[in-house]
Structure 1
């Protein structure tokens, strides 16, 4: 049986039995193969694939083009009836068969991260480093097919998803290395995060803290000036108040600053302070536990909600999720592309106002939570809630106000002096564990 390797993180590379065959495959055939491979759990109708890649053609012409491209792929990949086919093509459907002789980098990265555990910190670091090294660039970097808007939208959402995963991995590594005193490795990961988003002010704060702890006051000052320059050139704004306070600390002290804040961050990292938001309807029956951390990432809204949806899709039985109404999945799909693994034929070419879209997303995800907690309870652990994006925090409060409908309960950690803790305490029963 031939070995197929597909590398999609970066420029697309397809290798068969050690030989690169990317250039032997047409652009649309490569797009079709990539789409089927990433969605390997799903069986697609031929009409769906025809309209996805040849939507501007007549249905008859689109079906012919699909047949031809499938035939071409089977020929190049060496698919035949005597062996387990890579592409299972039936009269009306198509499916990608993922088996042991197939390697796909995106699945490898996700598998490593899913299996990683903090119980053994050495193995945890090794897992994060392995996942980090798999990411060679954006998902299908530079790949674009003319007159295929839905397919190109899919690529965009997948790029965002894998970039978030990579960003999270870098952040976790930077925090661990900082705690272990391996400052240069922590700096390397923070600098890599800045190559993804150079406007992320919190990363500059982290860099400044590390340089101060190393006793390198001049480089700490440089990081502040660098942040100011980039914000001025790109957005014509000044830094946030937090980084200005950091600057004052550097100017006014010759030794390491921010000792109080660093100690507090360490406490948060070690989860010493936990609070439970009590829900009297929580039954603790066959409870499923999900952990959705928050990170200091600004200007990316729906970030936490998107991660919540992804965790649900990754941890719940697909048959249960397929029973959730498609019109709700359509609205959830607006923020999380992995919904495409559950249902096909989602068309987002509607024209909604920002507020209408937000309301529809909130309603859909709330219904999803209600649906999955009907039979079994759900416990959600949120780390560093003060870093949750604003829209997600609005949704979080909506969940709390709807607690009576839901068999779920939250456990949170974070900066207890932050205004969000005060707001939660005002309306809800918050108890320290």
Structure 2
């Protein structure tokens, strides 16, 4: 079944900001929060039914019996009023004195229903998988929290976790299809998206390293391993598995012949290294520092967010606006104290040099601005794994 075959007059999205369309008209505003909650609850149980008493306990737990039943009748009426018959004349809801459910014969499209059904069917068609990927626009009922409805909120949290697992499963299937077709760039991008939801899944980390290897980008695989290892040590206090570490040593023993500007490779001792070229202009405060940051941003596979906090990166965006772009922000900070800029810059160089031999070529070093020179001299005194070379 392809998505183009699914449909009907009714379309519902619960992932991200809820949206309800009927006959190509957005009718979301016609539904209050409890009506949307009720609709979501019925959709989660679309292959069965919901007992009225259970719905009351979920959505109006602290109301008296008369008020709760009235609220349920009103919200059922709201749904029926705004969701008309489908193309075959079927009503959307089946309601009696005891139960409520979605009519199984009613034609509609709903993101959470499609995702669950197609994943259960083990769909591996690339077109279906790519379309499903776009349905994941956020969490289930994103931004919604229902006051005093503790049991219902627990249901939503549970379902959110299920959909996160479903997304990982979907992305892994998609990555496999890309790999089978030889589209290694798409495979890699998909795997890197998957890691955001399963950051400590070493099978995914290993697969990313293997894809880099297939692309003859062993140095990027090593960078990725080091980044993962640092995260593992700092956050969980543990080390990568023997299998992953063995892959790292295998790849790190394949050094390149020479270091290239803006690239990563390895020296004869298998030490990872990066070489960048920077410029100086006297009289323009921070210019050399900004040049260093810009050159680092251009190094393939090097992510500054792996070395600094968001706050530190935003501080540096004051002197190098390209950082704001890398963070997905539209503008850099307007004013930052010099001491914070200095601390963030030194920390960046220090953190990178912990795992990488950094070579910084400085053009026209005699033209370096005063503020940058003070930090340049400070870095020289720190005896880091940094080569500062004037040309």
Change in Cα spacing, 1:11 to 1:17, as seen in structure 2 (3 Å) is same
SS at match of 2:20: strand
Between the two proteins, the alignment pairs up a number of residues equal to: 248
2:218/2:252 contact within 8 Å kept: no
Q: CA RMSD in A?
A: 2.6
Q: Which residue of 2 aligns with 1:32?
A: 38
SS at match of 1:238: coil
CA distance in 2, matches of 1:51, 1:40: 19
Matched, 1:9 2:15: yes
1:199/1:230 contact within 8 Å kept: no
- TM-score normalised to the size of structure 1? 0.52
Greater length-normalized contact order (CA 8 Å, ≥ 6 residues apart): 1
Matched, 1:191 2:197: no
Q: Deviations over 1:289-325 (max 9, x none)?
A: xxxxxxxxxxxxxxxxxxxxxxxxxxxxxxxxxxxxx
1:193 Cα deviation after fit:
0.4
Q: Deviations over 1:9-58 (max 9, x none)?
A: 22211112212222221101110011112312223332221111111222
1:164 Cα deviation after fit:
1.7
- TM-score normalised to the size of structure 2? 0.58
SS at match of 2:100: strand
- After TM superposition, the structure 1 = structure 2 runs for residues 332-411 of structure 1, keeping only pairs within 5 Å, are none
Q: Which residue of 2 aligns with 1:203?
A: 204
1:172 Cα deviation after fit:
2.1
Alignment equivalent of 2:102, drawn from 96, 106, 130: 96
- After TM superposition, the structure 1 = structure 2 runs for residues 12-411 of structure 1, keeping only pairs within 5 Å, are 12-78=18-84, 84-115=90-121, 124-254=125-255
Give 5+ residue unaligned stretches, structure 1.
Answer: 119-123, 256-433
CA distance in 2, matches of 1:135, 1:155: 16
CA distance in 2, matches of 1:76, 1:177: 42
Q: Deviations over 1:193-221 (max 9, x none)?
A: 01212232332211111112211122111
Q: Which residue of 1 aligns with 2:365?
A: none
CA distance in 2, matches of 1:90, 1:164: 35
CA distance in 1, matches of 2:52, 2:169: 36
Q: Rg: which structure is higher?
A: 2
CA distance in 1, matches of 2:208, 2:142: 29
Change in Cα spacing, 1:45 to 1:181, as seen in structure 2 (3 Å) is closer
1:198/1:230 contact within 8 Å kept: no
1:79 Cα deviation after fit:
7.1
CA distance in 2, matches of 1:167, 1:130: 15
CA distance in 1, matches of 2:35, 2:123: 38
1:14/1:21 contact within 8 Å kept: yes
CA distance in 1, matches of 2:134, 2:121: 16
Change in Cα spacing, 1:79 to 1:46, as seen in structure 2 (3 Å) is farther
CA distance in 2, matches of 1:117, 1:28: 34
Q: Deviations over 1:99-136 (max 9, x none)?
A: 45421122223344455566xxxxx3233223323322
CA distance in 2, matches of 1:18, 1:225: 50
SS at match of 2:196: helix
1:167/1:193 contact within 8 Å kept: yes
SS at match of 1:196: coil
